[in-house]
Amino acid sequence: MIRIDRIAAAGLLSLCACAAFGQDSDKVMQAKVVGLDGHVLGTVNLQDTPTGVLVSTDIKGLPAGEHGFHFHEKGLCDPAQKFATAGGHFAAGGRQHGLMVMGGPHGGDMPNQYVGPDGVLKAQVLDTGVTLSPGPKSLLDADGSALVIHAAPDDYTSQPAGNAGARIACAVISPGK
C-alpha cells in the first residue's frame, strides 16, 4: 500500500457521485460515491485547508487491490456511460500527469489507494493542487468536478492519465447538489 502526502510529493483522488456543499465558513462538503450499478457505495468528505483539500473516504463494496484515485474535470457521474461524463483529470495549473513525472503532478493527481479483502476504503489524502475556494485551482468551478476511483493502480507516469484502467466509482463535487 502506498500513501503519499502531497505536501511532501504527490497528488489526490478520483471518484464520482452526488455532493452536498456546506455553505459554512470552513468549506466542508460531502459527496456520495456511486458504483457502476448506480448504487451508493459510501461517502467522501472534502475540507478546504490552508494548504489544499483534505479528502476523507468511507466507501464499501470496492474490489480488493490498489486503485487510481483522481479528481476529474467535470461534475458529472453517469454510471450508464461508465463515468466517462466526468471528463479527463482535473489539470489546474497546466501541469503534466503523474507523481513521478517532471512537470507534474497536475491538480487531480493523488496517490493510489488500497482496498482490503473486505472491500472497504477508509483513507485520508491531502491534495495541495486543488481548493474549494474560488480561483483557477477550484474544484467548484462552473461545471464542478468529480472524484473517480479506477479499476487499476495509476503508474504515476503514463500520459495523460496513468493507465489506471476503467472508472469503477464516482462522486460529483459541486455546490448546491
Residue 78 is part of which domain span? 17-170
pLDDT digits (tens, 9 = 90+) for 113-129: 999 999 999 999 999 99
Residue 125 falls inside a structural domain: yes
Whether the Cβ atoms of residue 88 and residue 73 lie closer than 8 Å to each other: yes
Residue 151 falls inside a structural domain: yes
Binning pLDDT at 50, 70 and 90, where does residue 26 land?
Answer: low
Binning pLDDT at 50, 70 and 90, where does residue 103 land?
Answer: confident
* Domain total of the chain: 1
Residue 2 falls inside a structural domain: no
- Taking the C-alpha atoms of residue 167 and residue 36, their distance in angstroms, rounded to an integer, is 8
Residue 11 falls inside a structural domain: no
**Average pLDDT score over residue span 48-59:** 96
Residue 166 falls inside a structural domain: yes
Domain containing 126 — which CATH number?
Answer: 2.60.40.200
Residue 150 falls inside a structural domain: yes
